[in-house]
Structure formats: C-alpha cells, structure tokens
Amino acid sequence: AAWTFLLVGITVHFTRAKEYSEWGRSEGTEGFSIGGVQVANPSLYPWHVAIFIRGTYEGGGSLISQEFVLTATHVVYDFSSERLKSPKSITVKAGIVKLGDASAKVYNVSNILGYPEFDPKNLANDICLLKLETKVTFGATVRPIYLWDEADRDVSVMASKKYSGTVVGWGLVEGGDRTNNLNRVQMNFLDAENCQNAVPAFKKSGFPKPDRSYCAVRDTQTVCRGDSGGGMFLYDSRRKAYYLRGFVSQGMTTGGGCEANVPVLFTDIAFYLKWIEKIALPKCYNLLGLNKCVVFGLNEEQGNSPLGIVHLKYKFRKNLLISDCHGVLISKRHVLTQAGCVEANQLRELKSVSIGNIFINNYSDVVSQNAIVSVKTNADLAILVLKSDVSQQISPICLPTAHETGTSEIFYWTRKTPHPKKLQHVKIASDELQIGSSKSSKILQVNVPSNHTRLGGAPFLYSIADSHMFLRAVEKCPWKGCPPQQKSAEFVDVLLHYGGWIREVVGAEGSEEELLPPRCVV
C-alpha cells in the first residue's frame, strides 16, 4: 500500500515498505585474495558489479538498492572535457565473477549523480551514484549491501583495533596483467599519520580527509588500476551481513603495476550516508520522504531559521489567545506535539497553530495562524491536521527512520520571559542523553542546563554532517509547562513505537511496494 500527501504542490507517494531480509547476505565460502585463487562463487559478493563504458571495463561498484549503484566519480568522469560521461555510454554487469560471462545481468544507466564538491584535480569527494534504467530483481547472485551506519565512525579507532575489510575487483594483478576473474584482498585500516608518512603525495594533497576518506594497506597484496569504485566490506557476525564502509579511490602505481605494502586511499561513505540515502533510499533518509532535511539555526551562520517549530494557540478564559505548547511541522499539513498539549482543559481550548516566526507575539511581522481540522493521538504523542498547507517558504522538519548519532540541541520558548518571546536553543552533549531503563523505552532522559520553565513539547533535534537535521524527541511535561529541571527532563522518542503510526496518519494507502533494508522499515 502507498502513503500520499501534498508537498509544495507535488504529490509524493509513500509506498508501504517491504523488508528484504537478504540485504548484505552472502552465500558460499570460496574466494581468496588478489594475486591468489580467484573468487569462484557469484553468490559470495552479489552486490559487487562491473562498470563498462562503451563496452570497455572501467571499474567496480556496489549495488545499494533496486535502482542505484555506488562507485567512485572518477570511474565515470571524462577528464579531457572535465565533465561526467554520458549515462548512455555506461552499462553495469551484475551476478558474475568473470567479466566475459554471458549469463551476466546487464543494466543500462539512466543518470549519473555525482557529489557536488567532487574535485577532479585531486579526487576529493570521489563518490557518485549510477541510476539504473530498470529495477534489479534480487536473488542469490544479485543483491544489495548495507551502507555503513554511525557506529565506529572513527577510522583511527578501527585501525587501533586492527580491523580489516574485504576488497574485490577485476583490476590489474601481479605483473600488471589484466584479469578476467574476480579477485579479493583483505586490507587493514591504517591511521592518517602512518598513511601520510608512507605516501607523501597523500600528505601534500591533504589526504586522508577527516571523515571523508581513509587509508588501508596489506603487506603482501594490494588493489590496482581497474579496482576503483570497488567496495570495502566488513562482516557483522551479529547481524550475519556485510556492510559497505568505503570504496577504492586512488593509489600509487609503479611501472605497469601496483606495489603491496603501499597504502591505498578509500572514499569513506560514513560522511556521505545521508546524501546517498536522500537520492537512492529516500525512505531511509527520512520517515516521510521529504526531499530535503534542512539544518536550522537561530542566525544566518547556523542555518535556516527554524520556522517549522511552531507554537500552539489556545483560547484562555474564553477571550484571550495564549501560547502554551510547542509543535513541530512534519509535513506541509501536519504538526506533531506531545499528547498533553491537546488534552481537554476547563481553562483553555486549542484553537490554531502559529507558524512562520521564531518570536511569539512579535506583532511587527506577519505570522500565519493555521486552523486545525482534526487531532490524532497515540499515547504520548498527538498529530494536528491543518486546514490548509503552510507557506512554501516554511520547511517541515524531518523524522528519522533509525536511531542515529549527531549534534544534538533543544529549541524552546520560555513561559515567563517578556513578549515578544524569542525562540532559544541549547546544545546537548552525548553524555547528557540517556535512553530510559531499557532499549525499548519510549522515554529519553536529557540533562537540560536550564533554570526556567519551557513551554510544553519542546523539540529535541540533531544534525548530521552539518547538512541534515532531524527530530529525535519532544519533551513530555504537563500542559502548564515544563518546570525547571534539577537533574533531567523527559522526552518522548518519536521514532520508537510511533514511526508507523505517524506515517499512517500523514498519508493514505496505495498499492505499490518497494524493497528496503530492515532498518528502514518502520
């Protein structure tokens, strides 16, 4: 079934997520390192594909969804004309271990989406997505790989723990000879200092760049020309699946081949994860499929003004309109808040939502008062359905599909400050955030350095890579406002237990289905 809502004049369909449990799964045990016995089983690394340009093999890539392959930009870049090559010249072959295998599944490419900051001079931000013309049918020899999540993001830590990853490819082998057979090598993570000492050219160019690239090395074997774009895979024994941490970007060549025990530079996908999801897996990017998760701040240097943080207007003692609660715009017609903000009360009656200003009662600016047509509640949360769409200039705030780590902060108005009240915010350090008594708890305990009373339902937001922002939780407190906290404040986790309900309220059912990795199925 599909979910539908109106977004800036465009109808967006939310398909009911169908979990594909074989994501990142491998079958078989054959396969040895590059320079040794070749990989013999196409089910061993079924996400690895071969990229051809005008019939000539150019590099590798990883299948990450039914329609997208992740690879290095330089594999599909025309350096003479300084632009991407034509998608029509590119084909992708999947389900093979030999380049000439006639049983290969062949896919044409309809579009190339390169990272905007790619630098062809030094190959910084060497990452792009190939969109296939037709959806891939998954099976034992063709299936996608998981993308690396936020855990163990620091490569120096992985190097100190002596972590290694598997790299496969059809690149040049010992002696600089070409090969028709897929080979693999196990490579060890290397910290930046040792990498730069071993390869002065990397140090001169500022590589590896923190979070965006990393080095790996093997004393007896290596990767070489033709392995570019091929992924480094790590196996998670708990989940029994492989994860893509990065892919081959550049290395040093000598004569006709490549030397072992010389570090190789990999693009680190951890930094680019949200950019990848936004294009290739939008239902992993955010719960409701918004096309952009804007970063907000309270001045121009910090980002866009958080106009999607709203305040609820109540009729008080039958004649006075007051603001008593926060709300968060999650679509152009839906506001999420805590359930206590919509409870029936003899003193006040919820009338409307005030949207479009970081001030309360700033009469010098035009503020939109949006009427409410219905209210949906579910335990600690409530969704207000507005009579009409809000202005196109106001960006809704994204909801996550999985718990992630990022830079956290709380935005809030206070009850007792003079009018006009300005929206405030406070940063939350990771050690000031605690999940409740168990992993299944709906409540987050947050140490809030505050000595004043906040309006109810204050939003807890976090940002990733300074480019994407999400709502993690809303404060749970009485309708009279959140009292000063001596130790911690309680926040309701909007994802845990509520994600499916939120998606259902915001949208309507349809029939199309899309295969997603389990972590994105809410």
Specify if 28 maps to a domain: yes
The C-alpha atoms of residue 446 and residue 397 are separated, in whole angstroms, by 21
CB 99 within 8 A of CB 90: no
Whether residues 41 and 160 share a domain: the answer is: yes
The C-alpha atoms of residue 57 and residue 53 are separated, in whole angstroms, by 7
Q: Which CATH number goes with the domain that contains 365? A: 2.40.10
Whether residues 186 and 315 share a domain: the answer is: no
Question: Which has the closest alpha carbon to 183: 214, 221, 229?
Answer: 221
CB 485 within 8 A of CB 454: no
Q: Which CATH number goes with the domain that contains 139? A: 2.40.10.120
Sign of the alpha-carbon torsion through 198, 39, 280, 406: negative
Whether residues 349 and 221 share a domain: the answer is: no
**Predicted confidence (pLDDT) at residue 327 exceeds the cutoff of 50:** yes
* CA dihedral of residues 351, 356, 357, 360 (deg, nearest 10): 0
Q: Would you put residue 361 in left (φ > 0), alpha (ψ -120 to 50) or beta?
A: left
306-321 pLDDT, tens digit each: 889 999 988 887 677 7
Helix (H) / strand (E) containing 303: none
Specify if 504 maps to a domain: no
Total domains in the fold of the chain: 2
Lowest average pLDDT, out of 213-222, 251-260, 312-321, goes to: 251-260
What does the block give as tokens for 196?
Answer: 């730069």
pLDDT for residue 34? 41
pLDDT for residue 160? 87
- What's the mean pLDDT when you consider all of the chain? 84
Whether residues 347 and 225 share a domain: the answer is: no
Rounded to an integer, the average pLDDT of 137-149 is 92
Specify if 492 maps to a domain: no
Specify if 63 maps to a domain: yes
The C-alpha atoms of residue 288 and residue 501 are separated, in whole angstroms, by 11
Which spans in 469-521 are helix H? 499-506
Whether residues 81 and 42 share a domain: the answer is: yes
* Alpha-carbon distances of 99 from 28, 59, 133, rounded to whole Å: 20, 11, 21
Query: In 20-89, where do the E strands start and end?
Result: 48-53, 56-63, 68-71, 77-78, 83-84
Residue with tokens 């237990």: 497
Whether residues 120 and 236 share a domain: the answer is: yes
Sign of the alpha-carbon torsion through 220, 69, 144, 122: positive
pLDDT for residue 401? 85
Specify if 158 maps to a domain: yes
Final residue in a domain of this structure, among 427, 445, 460: 427
**Predicted confidence (pLDDT) at residue 345 exceeds the cutoff of 90:** no
The overall longest dimension of the chain from CA atoms, in Å, is 87
Whether residues 218 and 271 share a domain: the answer is: yes
pLDDT for residue 12? 36
pLDDT for residue 65? 95
Whether residues 139 and 252 share a domain: the answer is: yes
Whether residues 258 and 380 share a domain: the answer is: no
The C-alpha atoms of residue 99 and residue 180 are separated, in whole angstroms, by 5
What are phi and psi for residue 202, nearest 5 degrees? Answer: -65, -45
SS (H, E, C) 396-460: CCECCCCCCCCEEEEEECECCCCCCEECEEEEECHHHEEECCCCCCCEEEECCCCCCCECECCEE
Specify if 452 maps to a domain: no
Final residue in a domain of this structure, among 427, 461, 494: 427
Lowest average pLDDT, out of 19-28, 185-194, 293-302, 304-313, goes to: 293-302
The C-alpha atoms of residue 520 and residue 500 are separated, in whole angstroms, by 11
**Predicted confidence (pLDDT) at residue 159 exceeds the cutoff of 70:** yes
**Predicted confidence (pLDDT) at residue 274 exceeds the cutoff of 60:** yes
User: What percentage of residues in the chain have a pLDDT greater than 70?
Assistant: 84
Whether residues 314 and 277 share a domain: the answer is: no
Whether residues 202 and 57 share a domain: the answer is: yes
Residue with tokens 């570019």: 228
The C-alpha atoms of residue 152 and residue 518 are separated, in whole angstroms, by 20
Distance, C-alpha 223 to centroid of its chain: 28
CB 462 within 8 A of CB 345: no
Specify if 174 maps to a domain: yes
| Domain with 161 in it | 16-281
* CA dihedral of residues 178, 180, 182, 184 (deg, nearest 10): -20
The C-alpha atoms of residue 108 and residue 91 are separated, in whole angstroms, by 5
What does the block give as tokens for 229?
Answer: 């774009």
pLDDT for residue 348? 81
pLDDT for residue 220? 84
- 3-state SS, residue 213: strand
Whether residues 197 and 50 share a domain: the answer is: yes
Final residue in a domain of this structure, among 412, 427, 442: 427
Specify if 294 maps to a domain: no
